[in-house]
A and B are shown apart, each in its own frame.
Chain A
Amino acid sequence: MFPSRFDYKSPTSLEEAISLLAANEDAKVLAGGQSLIPMMKLRFAAPAVLVDINNIPGLDGHGAQSDGSYRIGALVRHADLEKSSTLGDHQPTIAAAAPLVADPIVRTRGTFVGSVCHADPQGDWASCMVALGGSIVAQGPNGRRTIAVDEFVSGPFQTVLAADEIAVEAVIPPASGTRKGGYLKLERRVGDFATAGVALSLEMSGSTVAKAGIGLTGVGSSTISATEASAVLVGSSLDDATIAAAAEAAAAATSPRSDHRGSADYKRHIVATFVRRLLAQHQPVEAKVA
């Protein structure tokens, strides 16, 4: 399969890339290309110009900042996150999801930020970003702006990025306590999209939940933020009754479709089960005994 014809630009600075986007109507940014290139081959996408950002230095770093936030540059590959020895200490939710994104070969090439920009309702990273309250930093001709992920994604495969803006990094805000969390995904085989996935973020103050976020993958027409379920958790010590209530609230927040991956009821059941499992991992010892 061949994509439609396009012109290819490989700028070596962000400024050059942004001016190329501004000068060319129907231009598209190419980072890892693991969603864009298949879509171009199927002719679901046919940009006239591809602006390849892979030769721009300084976009491939990720790490904790002095203010406690965590930044992930636009060229950080899924595999960079999967193989990081320090990510788990700072961002357990992202560290848990990294090995479950696509398959090992796609992970060497595909990027975290590119995946969020692709805005596939079945994307794993969007759920993590929703759970963690993350933002995307976009750079355009007039400088940078920070956009919360729930505003950034405006619909399936749609974002609020302007035609002359590039998503340069993702930012996870500092935790207000000890950060805990995880990601669970049910897939029929490696590399498939999630039948259902749950991202959990907890900020613990001692054994009490100070802040919580739950993002759901593949169980609605967009990534779902299970806000009622996370509200149930705040102030609790993750006792069994709270966990059961959160699982029920998360399942109620979904609107899955029955398809070849499973029935709607099955997917709701998986979401409740995953929420229970993830929370049980972080249940304080005394709550388990009670």
Chain B
Amino acid sequence: MKKGARYDWIDIYDWDRDPDGNIIHNGGIPIKQSFKSKVANLSPDLVWGITNTLQYKAFTLILSIDGRVGGNSFSRTHQMLWNSGAHVDTDNQYRYDEVVNGKNTYIGEGVKVVSGSVQRDPDGNIIEDTRVYAPNDVVVSYEAYISRYHDSTSKPSRQNVLDETFFKIRNLSLIYTIPKSLSSKMRMSNASIGLTGQNLFLWAKEYKYADPDKGGSSDSSYGYENLNSPSQRYLGVNIKIGF
């Protein structure tokens, strides 16, 4: 840790990589380092929000959108979707080959060690490295691979530490104020009717299957999106009558 450096890091056991950043495979299976390293920062660069009220004649439009830029967290939802085979992208040719045709066809993307070895100090810094790499060509079971690549629930995998950048339409209401002439006939001083909706739209850069807005950033599981339930979408009708 350096003076003036950020203290909101996320450190996990990253994949072991060659100097070009390719994941190193052992027997066709990706290998994690035995040493933790910093992979990202928790806090967002910017949290923004706009609330606007527009009025045109009898119509009022209330719009509130907000979002976040930057900031990372480990998404347990994404990891476990993959790990359990429930992720939509796990339904692919490799899985079909394995389950239906009984044939392994998957080759993990990365390299394997052909010869040599690496020596590390207790922080994981490389002291000596004589490893020679070749592209990984070991065919393995897709299930065995994915259940390691997206490891069990308590072991965050690097690729599931996601950027929380998102924006969402948090609130949208359209209100029509009934003309005085009409409302006074019904002995009302004023009346309005409106449609309102919350969480109508969410766009997220990397969080595709969980709501990054709920990424446990306030409780003890800081930096963990912990199988959050999605934000509910509310749709409603608003009738307001004054006498």
Genuine A/B complex = no
Binding site for B on A (CB under 8 A): none
